[in-house]
Structure 1
């Protein structure tokens, strides 16, 4: 089951480092500041911890705007699914 909720940015682990397009991050920062976050990021919830693999630009934009939380689509998953994402 997938649910959409606000999650504290500090609680999302991003195990795969990524280099973001800074122009895209700036454009998203402007959009989020004006009209709010329109599209949730996707996170896996494994053993009560959140892991993010997509939405990197939205994540960085929210971070740089000083937001405490981010809108996320949360999918509970077993550890085996997490290992497939990290492998």
Structure 2
């Protein structure tokens, strides 16, 4: 499956544990859409196809979620998902532990664009020039 955003289209897909993904922004969810995705993950024909409809639906598979990967100077990995909220909720509801992802490496100043001043509290270190 091609999938991914314009920024991640050329990046190879990989599977990450759902439990490793940090979602710092609370999602606003459409539960009908999540249920449709759960049916897709379970190889069932969805009762509901969201609008706009996906380019293609592959039973048992959802398009990859873009994930930002930050590795701290201490070597700790942080994986942030700012989008893909419905897909992540579907994985959780279907009790699927591995998530299809496109992982983009980022620096701490890049993360600060998304997290602002809370980046230090989340990754547990002071912002240093990189």
Unaligned runs of 5+ in 2: 1-9, 44-58, 72-76, 117-130
**For each residue in 1:1-58, what CA deviation from the matched residue of structure 2 results, as whole angstroms up to 9, or x when unmatched?**
8331100000000000112100000011111211122310000001121000011000
Unaligned runs of 5+ in 1: none
Give the CA RMSD over aligned residues. Answer: 1.3
TM-score, with length taken from structure 1: 0.92
The answer on 1:49 being equivalent to 2:78 is: yes
Larger radius of gyration: 2
**In 2, Cα distance between equivalents of 1:4 and 1:79:** 23
> 1:73: how far off?
0.3
The structure, 1 or 2, with the larger RCO (C-alpha pairs under 8 Å, 6+ apart) is: 1
More strand by share: 1
More helix by share: 1
Aligned residues: 87
Q: Find 1:73's aligned residue among 63, 86, 102.
A: 102
TM-score, with length taken from structure 2: 0.63
